Amino acid sequence: MYSAVLLFFFTVGILYNNVNSNLQNGCQTEFTDTYAYKNFHPLDEVATYAKNGIIINFSVRASSDAHILLSPTSSLTYATPVYEIVLGAGQNSFSVIRGKQRRRTMNHTRTPLILSATEERTFWIRLSNSQIQIGKGGEDEVILYAADSLPLHVQYVCFSTWYQVTGKWIYGCPTTRGYQEEENLTVTQKLRKDMLTYYDPYSRPIVMEDQTTTVKIHLQCLNVKLDEKRSIFTVNGVMHMKWNDEKMRWNPLAYNNVSLLYFTNREIWQPDIILVNAAGHGSGLFGETPVVANSDGSVTWSSPVHLEAWCPSDLNNWPNDQHTCELTLSFASKHQLLQMLFENSTMRPVQTTGSEWEIISHVAESALVSVPGSTDLLSGIVIQITLKRNNGSYKTLFVGPFIACILMTLISFWLPPTDQYKILCTCCGMIILSKFIIEFGNLLPTPAYNVPPILFAYCSGLIAMVLSLLISILVICLTRYKLQCSLPRKVCYILSNKYLHRILFLPPIMNTEDYSYTHLDDLGSNNKETSPEETKNTEQIQQYWTILATVIDRISCFTYAVYLSILLGTHSP
């Protein structure tokens, strides 16, 4: 009981000392624990006025979701246009500027762990011209900004946090500086301040209004991919851009030979480039990478890009296919005085993508591009990238089973006509080819105007195997059933030729001394008993039918071997 009371008075004392300390320093303190804008502070009590704009300095201690409201009125509704700044939103992972309460996002950026639940962290807000800029105390780097073409006349400042988030705010401290003392600025900081004080990042970087701004672009492809089913071409790479900024010139001798300045995203003018033939959103292509400005006004910007464009696929020679895909780039702003050029319009295909695709040519040319939402043709570039599929694995994957099926079919022709595995070999080959044809159907997209050669080879091979199955059935019928009718004399003479036996590897004919082939036609069919001579004649007839079936097998084997070899040689990957 006594310990709880002592702890209560101890906590109250600490809070009183903190508040009293802040009051002695001329600062104001406020605590918030829910999402509600209650205390509207006049701008004059919170901000200081400087030549580069209105500066609001404050400190906040909160675990996340610190809300700052800049409002033109104290009578607030959800429809009232305001500037709502949220630091550490999304569990202290990003920050955002909104044009209304909880909606109309103007800009956002990742700011992990920007707030702390154990210490006060200082920030500044600068309102100048049509811009809102936020930075950390003691630093001049802008961490979040937004521009409003119709800026609000801010009169009040209000602080809040999110539900069940406690925040401590310190504001209104007397200061004679905007967001950093002039005498404490380094040479680089002073140069940045001089360059950015009256700089508008949303106006073209020219002095004369009739000047043309030329942006030179160079695309470095690091990885490419073509989705044939969806007809989407994907490029992951780096976009290098160069242009001249007439407002970004200075004498390095006046700034201790500082000739380079690094700016964060949107601190200075940057081209808004879009992918016209994008398969999805064609804007917001670039990441938040620094922009480098030189003292002579030249500006370079290199940013990773992820481009997805429509590309019709040509599968006539799949998997030996080549595809030429286009990336059409232009400006988002409908301005006729913006020009886009491509550096190194013809690139050597030295990129290795690390995927199944290889770049074999990379060509770009300037063109007038039709941009959605604009009736005029704007300056742009068309980048043509020709891809070739690395089909080494396809040769092993598709040619190997096809050769195995061919061999199974040829082996079936060399098996004895009465062998039980004769039909089994052919059926196994048909099953394998059918399975691969089904896989081809799942792998290839539907709009294939011509049948790819490898698929044609598989279908032709399957038809050939069906015919070989019919031949095998015919051969089995000729040998398994006892046929009473004899072959013509000339056919038997040909089948008895020794050279034919050697060429086709036929089995020898039984020795038939005193046997006259003409006697076979004189046999009567009315004899009820079978004499030894009659049995001998029947076996002789069946022997010639068996040799005929073997001849059919051998000729079919040679014919199929030639046909399937030609088919494989002309249609293989």
Per residue in 395-411, is it b (16+ CB within 10 Å) or e — as a string?
eeebeebbeebbebbbe
Pair (371, 408) in one structural domain: no
**Does residue 517 carry a pLDDT above 70?**
no
Whole-number average pLDDT of the chain: 78
Q: Is residue 196 part of a domain?
A: no
Domain count, the chain: 3
- Asked whether 300 and 242 are in contact (CB, 8 A), the reply is yes
* Residue 571 pLDDT grade (very low, low, confident, very high; cuts 50, 70, 90): low
Pair (381, 461) in one structural domain: no
pTM, rounded to two decimals: 0.53
pLDDT digits (tens, 9 = 90+) for 20-75: 444 446 788 999 988 989 899 998 888 887 766 788 999 999 999 999 999 998 88
Pair (447, 548) in one structural domain: yes
Predicted confidence at residue 484, as pLDDT, reads: 62
* Residue 373 pLDDT grade (very low, low, confident, very high; cuts 50, 70, 90): low
Q: Is residue 201 part of a domain?
A: no
Q: Is residue 205 part of a domain?
A: no
* Residue whose C-alpha is closest to residue 560's, from 446, 467, 457: 467
DSSP symbols for 398-422: IIHHHHHHHHHHHHHHHS-TT-TTH
Q: Is residue 7 part of a domain?
A: no
**Does residue 311 carry a pLDDT above 80?**
yes
Pair (417, 321) in one structural domain: no
Pair (384, 399) in one structural domain: no
Task: List the beta bridge partners of residue 261.
Answer: 293
Which CATH number do you get for residue 113?
Answer: 2.60.120.200
* Residue whose C-alpha is closest to residue 230's, from 316, 317, 325, 305: 325
Predicted confidence at residue 5, as pLDDT, reads: 43
Q: Is residue 1 part of a domain?
A: no
Q: What are phi and psi of 320, to 5 degrees?
A: -95, 30
Q: Which of residues 375 and 58 earns the better pLDDT score?
A: 58
Which letter does DSSP use for residue 130 in this model? Answer: T
Q: Is residue 138 part of a domain?
A: yes
Highest mean pLDDT range out of 44-53, 100-109, 397-406, 477-486?
Answer: 100-109
Predicted confidence at residue 179, as pLDDT, reads: 44
- Asked whether 454 and 315 are in contact (CB, 8 A), the reply is no
Predicted confidence at residue 312, as pLDDT, reads: 83
Q: Which of 120-129, 260-269, 499-508 is the least confident region?
A: 499-508
Task: List the beta bridge partners of residue 385.
Answer: 325, 362
Predicted confidence at residue 347, as pLDDT, reads: 52
Pair (378, 399) in one structural domain: no
CA distances from 105 to 26, 86, 90, 308 (A): 34, 11, 14, 25
- Write the CB contacts of 358 (distance below 8 Å, at least 6 apart in sequence): 349, 352, 387, 388, 389, 390
**Does residue 12 carry a pLDDT above 50?**
no
**Does residue 463 carry a pLDDT above 80?**
yes
CB atoms within 10 A of CB 525: 5
Pair (533, 561) in one structural domain: yes
Pair (329, 264) in one structural domain: yes
Last residue of a domain, one of 390, 420, 436: 390
* Residue 16 pLDDT grade (very low, low, confident, very high; cuts 50, 70, 90): very low
The length of the chain in residues reads 573
Pair (96, 222) in one structural domain: no
pLDDT digits (tens, 9 = 90+) for 242-280: 999 988 889 888 888 999 999 887 788 888 888 888 887
Strands 213-227 and 338-342: parallel
d(CA 140, CA 148): 21
Pair (360, 421) in one structural domain: no
d(CA 184, CA 190): 9
Overall average pLDDT of the 111-119 stretch: 91
Q: Which of 336-345, 348-357, 424-433 is the least confident region?
A: 348-357
Tokens found for residue 167: 């925040």
Q: Is residue 122 part of a domain?
A: yes
Sign of CA dihedral 263, 267, 273, 275: positive
Q: Which of residues 434 and 564 earns the better pLDDT score?
A: 434
Pair (118, 260) in one structural domain: no
pLDDT digits (tens, 9 = 90+) for 147-205: 887 888 889 999 999 988 989 999 988 763 444 444 567 888 888 888 887 788 878 88
Q: Is residue 5 part of a domain?
A: no
Q: Which of 72-76, 341-345, 520-524 is the least confident region?
A: 520-524
Tokens found for residue 35: 């999402």
Predicted confidence at residue 292, as pLDDT, reads: 94
Range of the domain at 160: 25-184
Pair (298, 446) in one structural domain: no
- Write the CB contacts of 357 (distance below 8 Å, at least 6 apart in sequence): 224, 225, 226, 387, 388, 389, 390
Which CATH number do you get for residue 356?
Answer: 2.70.170.10
